[in-house]
Amino acid sequence: MLLGRVATGDVTALRLVYDEHAPRAMAIARRILRNVEEAEDIVQETFLELWRRAPQFDGQRGGLCAWIVTIARSRAIDRLRSAGTAGRALDGASSSPDVYPTSPPSPIVETERRLTESKVADALATLPPEQRHTIQLAYFDGLSQSEIAAKTGSPLGTVKMRVKLAVGKLKTLLKDDFS
């Protein structure tokens, strides 16, 4: 397995993982930080962390892509919050996606991505509007539940419940994709 080779210190294997997954890490980091240079810093940090923690990867918990996206997203949100740039995200939250590919992906990859995008869009569309909005603010804009409550004027308890219910529904709706 590729990550097994990374765990033994194989840089070539890391490069292969990077080529395959860095664009996804970049997409999520840029979506949250809205800044290319900062997003590239996050990608760099993500793959250095992957290099260090490769022996700890637990394939039972989810795929490699999920792990990388989780690391990149967590680091992007940490940076957003630690730099006090949350205000920027609050102001610009839920604007239309502003990410574009720097090079055209292969037709197969693009078809697969469009399919995934369509499934995710369909799944999000089935959520009640307030749950959908909450997930968008939490996931794509990196806001905490308290920040969402402040932004939307909803009680914190309500926001917490919306997050829980929305993720539960999405889990069911996207279940087939995980297998």
Partner 1 sequence: MTCDEFKELAAAYALVALDAQEQSACMQHLAARLPHRGCQEAVAEAELVAARLGAALIPQRPSPQVWREIAAHLHEDRGSSPLADDAARRRGLYHLCGWLVAATLVGLYLYNAPLDRRIMQREAGHGGVVAGPGH
Distance CA 21, CA 177 (A): 18
Distance CA 43, CA 130 (A): 31
Does position 157 interact with partner 1 (CB under 8 A)? The reply is: no
Using alpha carbons, select from 167, 166, 170, 174 the residue that is nearest to residue 128.
166
Cβ 107 to partner 1 shortest distance, Å: 14
Can you list the positions of beta strands (E) in the chain? none
Site size with partner 1, rule: CB under 8 A:
70
The contact pattern for partner 1, residues 71-90, with x = CB under 8 A and - = no contact, is --xx--x-------------
Does position 155 interact with partner 1 (CB under 8 A)? The reply is: no
User: Sign of the C-alpha dihedral, residues 104, 93, 43, 168?
Assistant: negative
Cβ 154 to partner 1 shortest distance, Å: 14
Distance CA 159, CA 140 (A): 16
Q: Which of 109, 125, 128, 155 binds partner 1 (CB under 8 A)?
A: 109
The contact pattern for partner 1, residues 1-30, with x = CB under 8 A and - = no contact, is ------xxxxx--xx--x---xxx-xxx-x
Using alpha carbons, select from 63, 60, 59 the residue that is nearest to residue 178.
63
Contact 115, 126 (CB under 8 A): no
> Rule CB under 8 A: which of 37-76 touch partner 1?
39-40, 43-44, 47-48, 51-52, 55, 61-63, 65-67, 69-70, 73-74
Does position 100 interact with partner 1 (CB under 8 A)? The reply is: yes
Token pair listed for 49 = 């962390």
CB-based contacts of 34, cutoff 8 Å, min separation 6? 88, 89, 92, 98
Q: What are phi and psi of 98, to 5 degrees?
A: -120, 35
Name the residues that contact partner 1, by CB under 8 A.
7-11, 14-15, 18, 22-24, 26-28, 30-31, 39-40, 43-44, 47-48, 51-52, 55, 61-63, 65-67, 69-70, 73-74, 77, 97, 99-103, 105, 109, 113, 116-117, 120-121, 135, 138-140, 142-146, 148, 160, 163-164, 166-168, 170-171, 174, 177-178
